[in-house]
Amino acid sequence: MYIGVDCGTQSTKVVVLDVEGERILGEASRPHRLIEGENGRREQRPGEWVEALRGALNEAVARAGIDSRAIRAIGVSGQQHGMVALDARGEPVHPAKLWCDTETAAQNAELVARLGGEAGCLDKLGLVLQTGYTASKLAWLRDTRPDAYHRIDSLLLPHDYLNFWLTGERVTEAGDASGTGYFDTRSRRWREDVFAEIAPELDPPRVLPRLIEAHEPAGKVRPELARELGLANDVLVSSGGGDNMLGAIGTGNIRPGLVTLSLGTSGTVCAHSPEPVVPDSAMVANFCSSNGGWLPLVCTMNVTSATTRVRELFGLDLASFGERLASAPIGAEGVTVLPFFNGERVPMLPEATGSFLGLTSVNTTQANLCRAVVEGATFGMRYGLELLGGLAEGASQIRLIGGGAKSPVWRQMVADITGTQVICPEITDAAALGAALQAAWCHQREQGVTLEQLCTRLVHLDERSLADPDPASVAAYQGVYARYREALAERHAVA
């Protein structure tokens, strides 16, 4: 039995995977609070992640109906880029600033300039710094909270922090480290010279976690914690990784030819590559994967976070929102939404706000506004897919995950807007499954078990979710997408 954990923006989810039985035996989740403020501040308290993990793990094991001592390993997926700065006692010096925090836009722009612009970033890091990466968060803390900054003893990412709580070890792996902004994604090593530009007072060997390979264990669950959770004394904790990396594993996207698209709080599009990618666009992140390869990735910041705002504005539950969505025509009768409530990363508009365009006395209906915000979020994903170029053009299938993937109307919309067949894994919360699969790989690797074998056996596709692009709808969306691109150009000068 193996445990998979996904610490996301809204909640921590836990699944219990029976590898021999090839099924999920139990799952549970616990919510987190989001601290929001002016200027794009979005933070969380790491202690809430710990309590959510503790509660969800106990409930998932109880639902599985197993003896907790049968668990052999735990894998942890975490929201990328979050800054968890700890003091010498292992306590946070400040709430964790999250991936969707855009308060550090000025610091990011300054860092990009100091590193030599986009060309300098690519030369040093293999990618271009974005607002939201960990680097600008650290620079912000130095600029605005010097007392907290000078107490830093170690810098971790969210999944690293949960591994630290589980094992007492301060380690990380290349996939999640790729999103820090001070890691060379081609050579898979810390760039201490870049780190010195951001935090000259901090000693990299002391404050940065030790790098391990994706197949290596982070450690074993601490004895006192194992007793508390009812676990055996030798439970391994795998390296874990960022939610995008573990989500790719959970969809079986560990070889070329597939695309994983996530309709979560944020949106991501990624494709596996066996070698580093030199992107044509600064918005494509040449991240490492959490299974030894690379995972070129594009991230948008407003997907279900945007649709939820409109749904809640009208006081609709999910079923009613889905009915409104389905009842409106393609193009929402001329309504266009640029859903940049959280700013945006792709296109690179960290200080943007949401826009509702084309409203008239005739087309301003609940149904059209619901349809338009979903279309706007999906057009952002197509924009990102186009940036991946050849890695995505040859893809025969998009594997769709995240909360939005549960909507049949949205699945068909993705197929029609991208012109590509769409299918969901049976488990659309793929990051937790990917974490459990990585844990099983870590535990069974010495017996010759490969991650490919585990994915082949345990990543099951839901044939009922299959959506083929409808030629008439594909044609209709070409014009609607062109309208979206025109709105981007007019309001934000985005080509």
From the list 243, 280, 416, 429, the catalytic residue is 243
In this structure, what are the phi and psi dihedrals at residue 233, rounded to the nearest 5 degrees? -80, -15
In this structure, what are the phi and psi dihedrals at residue 16, rounded to the nearest 5 degrees? -110, 115
In this structure, what are the phi and psi dihedrals at residue 83, rounded to the nearest 5 degrees? -100, 115
As a whole number of angstroms, the distance between CA 253 and CA 247 comes to 9
* Kind of pairing between the strands at 336-338 and 397-401: unpaired
Q: How many CB atoms lie within 10 A of CB 332?
A: 24
Buried b (16+ CB within 10 A) or exposed e, 170-203: bbbbbbbbbbbbbbbbbebebbeebbebbbeebe
Q: Catalytic site residue 462?
A: no
User: Cβ contacts of residue 422 below 8 Å, gap of 6+?
Assistant: 261, 397, 398, 400, 411, 412, 414, 415, 465, 466, 467
Query: In this structure, are residues 292 and 214 in contact, taking their beta carbons and an 8 Å threshold?
Result: yes
Here the tokens at position 29 are: 């989740």
Tokens 């929102």, residue located: 321
Query: In this structure, are residues 8 and 438 in contact, taking their beta carbons and an 8 Å threshold?
Result: no
As a whole number of angstroms, the distance between CA 253 and CA 244 comes to 11
As a whole number of angstroms, the distance between CA 478 and CA 461 comes to 29
For residue 24, the Cα-to-chain-centroid distance in whole angstroms is 22
User: Cβ contacts of residue 350 below 8 Å, gap of 6+?
Assistant: 40, 102, 105, 108, 131, 132, 343, 344
Run of H or E including 357? strand 355-357
Here the tokens at position 274 are: 């066996």
**Any idea which residues carry the catalytic annotation?**
243
